[in-house]
């Protein structure tokens, strides 16, 4: 029987400690299967998937991707990114599915998932309960989804910079506090 820790399913997202009992690649795969089934039932064929820089995020992402693929959903991986970048990528790539693996504001040792169904809409409450019920029943869609990698960073940066008109040049210092924004800003792509 499939098992995921029920307490991870909160009102607005899925959050848990990264360990063998809560959030790990195996539980992430079950969540991915349920989410893929959820999307399938709504006629959504694909999903953008991104992850933050937290410990365990990439491995959790890999589990979610395996689950989505096994449910017949096509996956568009956008790599390490900020949560707004994942939502932006949904619009850019014209897909209503989106999964962001992020610990957000939670302390070290925690991680989680924000799952989208539609543009600018994240699953909450009863919808997350529906995923948990699918996991409990092990009634998942089946298929062989495809995966591809798309680098959105430059397009995202160009879109942001293109929306701003400065009266004079600015000197900007970024202190991202060791967060994902630091990895993005130091790549030299933002604001160049």
Q: Over its length of 192 residues, how does the chain's per-residue pLDDT go in tens digits?
A: 567 899 999 999 999 999 999 999 999 999 999 999 999 999 999 999 999 999 899 999 999 999 999 999 999 999 999 999 999 999 999 999 999 999 888 889 999 999 999 998 999 999 999 999 999 999 999 999 999 999 999 999 899 888 888 899 888 777 666 667 656 665 554 444
Q: Is 53 a catalytic residue?
A: no
> Residue length, the chain?
192
- Give how far the C-alpha of residue 174 lies from the chain's centroid of Cα atoms, to the nearest Å: 24
Q: How far is CA 137 from CA 1, 2, 51, 123, in A?
A: 8, 8, 28, 20
Phi, psi torsion values for 105, nearest 5 degrees: -90, 0
Token pair belonging to 160: 């942001």
Q: Are 28 and 64 in contact (CB under 8 A)?
A: yes
**The domain 7-152: what is its CATH number?**
3.40.120.10
Decide: helix, strand or coil at residue 34: helix
What is the pLDDT, as a whole number, of residue 93? 97
What is the pLDDT, as a whole number, of residue 185? 64
- Per the rule left: phi > 0, alpha: psi between -120 and 50, beta: everything else, 46 is beta
Phi, psi torsion values for 156, nearest 5 degrees: -60, -50
Q: Are 61 and 102 in contact (CB under 8 A)?
A: no
- Give how far the C-alpha of residue 81 lies from the chain's centroid of Cα atoms, to the nearest Å: 9
Q: Are 37 and 134 in contact (CB under 8 A)?
A: yes
Q: Are 93 and 150 in contact (CB under 8 A)?
A: yes
What is the pLDDT, as a whole number, of residue 176? 66
Q: Are 70 and 140 in contact (CB under 8 A)?
A: yes
Distance CA 67, CA 30 (A): 6
Secondary element (H or E) of residue 113: strand 110-117
Break the chain into its structural domains and give their ranges.
7-152, 155-185
Could you tell me which of 107, 105, 95 has the C-alpha nearest to residue 50? Answer: 95
Sign, CA dihedral 24-147-99-116, equals negative
Q: Are 91 and 152 in contact (CB under 8 A)?
A: no
pTM (two decimals): 0.90
**Candidates 104, 137, 141, 187; catalytic one:** 104
């Amino acid at each position: 029987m499939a098992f995921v820790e029920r307490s991870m399913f909160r009102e607005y997202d899925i959050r848990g400690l990264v360990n063998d009992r809560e959030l790990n690649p195996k539980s992430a795969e079950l969540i991915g299967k349920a989410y893929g089934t959820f999307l399938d039932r709504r006629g959504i064929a694909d999903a953008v998937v991104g992850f933050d820089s937290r410990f365990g995020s990439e491995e959790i992402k890999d589990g979610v991707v395996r689950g989505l693929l096994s449910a017949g959903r096509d996956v568009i991986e956008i790599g390490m990114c900020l949560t707004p970048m994942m939502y932006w990528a949904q619009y850019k790539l014209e897909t209503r599915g989106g999964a962001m693996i992020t610990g957000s504001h939670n302390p070290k040792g925690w991680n989680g998932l924000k799952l989208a169904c539609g543009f600018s809409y994240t699953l909450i409450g009863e919808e997350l309960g529906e995923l948990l019920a699918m996991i409990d029943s092990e009634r998942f869609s089946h298929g062989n989804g495809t995966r591809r990698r798309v680098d959105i960073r430059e397009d995202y940066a160009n879109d942001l910079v293109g929306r701003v008109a400065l009266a004079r040049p600015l000197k900007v210092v970024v202190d991202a506090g060791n967060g994902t924004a630091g990895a993005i800003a130091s790549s030299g792509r933002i604001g160049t």
